Chains A and B, each alone.
Chain A
């Protein structure tokens, strides 16, 4: 809300500070990950292995996404499960 008001007051919002902040967040993460194996790839493989022990899943239908924020990052794992298993999974959760 306050951000929108600010935009109204300032006729031409400058985009350079946004660019600067986005770069600083991104590069802080990328520098940390440099030289290490791809985190998402290994997460994906290990999660896939664990879930496969209990049900048959299609490896192509596993999505692992990470959204990086300044303070909090979220990890989203999306696995498509064949219909035959849906009942037992629901019961377990």
Chain B
């Protein structure tokens, strides 16, 4: 049965798009049929992070308004044949989206994919509420930083009130994904610890993504970090998180970079 997952946060710049691309690619690599949907109308970026920016013809709004068929707007990933992208519009504004229209598109996507992953825009306005509206599950991307944790708390409140599931008296299954985590700083007491964040937000943990240069490297070349460097620390953390989403029980750990032997000996960076 298809699952609709929203990747959300309230705060901008915490890693929603990176996480959508990385989790989508990891789930597809594990054999699922996955569609990632960009809800950031007017500021789309999922196409760029996925490396599909030059292949966008039609978008979510065209499909919602019936100008294009869903099949025409879907872009198949060049690396993984069971990974697809439904881009957002860059020229229209978010008011062009209606709840009924989005509901129809999501219902259609449910019949074609195992996972429909909605990349929410930042904020709590229409784009963000529509991205979460039809979700079965939610990944709340949180940085170990006060403003991000506060916004995550607000978004959790919205997931419990303003979704179709909530209105039916059911619950959207929520997961916290901590990104940009620096174990050393947390150990020195300079950064909120994992336990602090989980206690404050009272929501189960999906994964801990360590702060890493690999994330920028991957977006530079237009590849989800889980495809660009599978063995890197963030990729391994996202792959574990994706397995947990599929129901596997994976021990929670924070991966560290495995340095090549020469680099370890000389303590220099080769790249």
A17: chain B residues at CB < 8 Å are: 189
Q: Is the CB of A20 within 8 A of B153?
A: no
CB distance from B83 to the nearest CB of A (A): 37
A36 interface hit (Cβ, 8 Å) = no
Q: Is the CB of B189 within 8 A of A27?
A: no
20 new A-B contacts at CB < 8 Å, known A12-B189, A16-B191, A20-B192 = A12-B188, A14-B188, A14-B190, A15-B189, A15-B190, A16-B186, A16-B189, A16-B190, A16-B193, A17-B189, A19-B145, A19-B146, A19-B192, A23-B146, A26-B150, A27-B153, A30-B150, A30-B154, A31-B157, A34-B157
Chain B 130-158 interface 0/1 with A at a Cβ cutoff of 8 Å (1 = within): 00000000000000011001100110010
B200 interface hit (Cβ, 8 Å) = yes
Cβ contacts A to B, 26 pairs, < 8 Å: A12-B188, A12-B189, A14-B188, A14-B189, A14-B190, A15-B190, A16-B189, A16-B191, A16-B193, A17-B189, A19-B145, A19-B146, A19-B192, A20-B192, A20-B200, A22-B146, A23-B146, A23-B149, A23-B150, A23-B200, A26-B150, A27-B200, A30-B153, A30-B154, A31-B153, A34-B157
A12, A16, A17, A24, most chain B CB atoms within 10 A: A16
B53 interface hit (Cβ, 8 Å) = no
* Interface residues of chain A: helix, strand, loop or mixed (majority): helix
Q: Is the CB of B161 within 8 A of A35?
A: yes
A15, A17, A23, A24, most chain B CB atoms within 10 A: A23
Interface residues in A, total, Cβ within 8 A = 16
CB distance from A30 to the nearest CB of B (A): 7
A-B contact count (CB 8 A): 39
B191: chain A residues at CB < 8 Å are: 16
CB distance from B264 to the nearest CB of A (A): 28
Interchain CA distance A26-B147 in the complex, whole Å: 11
Interchain CA distance A14-B190 in the complex, whole Å: 5
B196 interface hit (Cβ, 8 Å) = yes
CB distance from A64 to the nearest CB of B (A): 22
Interchain CA distance A19-B157 in the complex, whole Å: 21
Q: Is the CB of A20 within 8 A of B188?
A: no
Closest 5 CB pairs of A and B: A14-B189, A20-B196, A16-B189, A19-B146, A27-B153
Interchain CA distance A20-B193 in the complex, whole Å: 9
A30: chain B residues at CB < 8 Å are: 150, 153-154
